[in-house]
Amino acid sequence: MRRTADTRGEHKVEPGAGCACTCTGFTLIELLVVIGIIAVLIGILMPALSKARQQAQFTACKSNLRQIGNALRMYANDHKDHYPDSYTIGGSIYRRGPGEVNPSDPTSRPEVYGVQCVLGDLKYLPLHTDVWICPSAGEQFKGYKNTYVALLITGGGAIDKGSGFRGKEAQRDVFFVYDNFSSLPFLTGFRRGTSDMQPQLPSNQWLIPHAYRVKVQSGTTGARRGAINVLFLDGSVGIAVYGNPPTGGATPSMTPLHGE
């Protein structure tokens, strides 16, 4: 624009005269560079975020087991140092959550057995609580409203003299409550008899919930292993590390680790 004077000596502005203003956006190359930088940052951050999420779920699962362990200890304190025995929990190591039925069986009864029902009925834990759900468990197990397996203790639940679990050393490596990775729930609302089979997944279909990397002593070193969290009978919480299933469907190796 420029100013001009008319015949009366007044100034006016003429549009379009001498405008030097230019507006430009990103070029295609600049845009591609920005997109590339963002992609690199995402590639760097995603593994770290995934690892942090896995660690948070791993820690939440261990917290669940500690709460269950405290509830079982309170039960034992009120029952002369006896834990819920096999008969009390219905004879099965793994069951659906309280009140759950088998959706594929319209005649199935609501679940009334299992450690979850025992502790819930006696108010040591809420009957329906996420404490029984490991956040890393497979969706199949989460659908059962319980992702933990419980030890069957015979002899009235005693863990002192007269039982095979006497003393801290004897209890140290005994799995009490732990991540389920291989068992399927028993028939809801029924006790499991001594001749009844506990449904199990084949070893090549095990759903080990937690990732864990160690050096394998036999076989390929550095192989990827899975792990489960375990509440041991002595009250400690640790992990058990499992190796990759070998060919032929054989059972993977297992190593219990305390204080992990």
Which contiguous run of DSSP H or E holds residue 24?
A: none
> CA nearest 239: which of 225, 215, 253, 256?
256
- Say whether pLDDT at 154 is over 60: yes
Give buried/exposed letters for 234-249 (b at 16+ CB in 10 A, else e): bebbbbbbbbebeeee
Of the ranges 3-17, 65-79, 175-189, 237-251, which one carries the lowest mean pLDDT score?
3-17
What average pLDDT is seen over the chain?
A: 80
pLDDT recorded at residue 219: 44
H helices present in the chain, as ranges: 28-78, 115-121, 139-142, 168-172
Cβ contact 203:252 at 8 Å: yes
- Calculate the CA dihedral of residues 50, 56, 62, 64 and round it to 10 degrees: -120
Q: Give the pLDDT confidence of 231-251 residue by residue, as tens digits.
A: 998 889 998 887 655 454 455
Report if pTM > 0.85: no
Instruction: Outline where DSSP puts E strands in 81-123.
Output: none
Q: Give the pLDDT confidence of 59-114 residue by residue, as tens digits.
A: 999 999 999 999 999 999 998 888 998 999 999 999 999 999 999 999 999 999 99
Kindly state the tokens that stand for 4.
């001009």
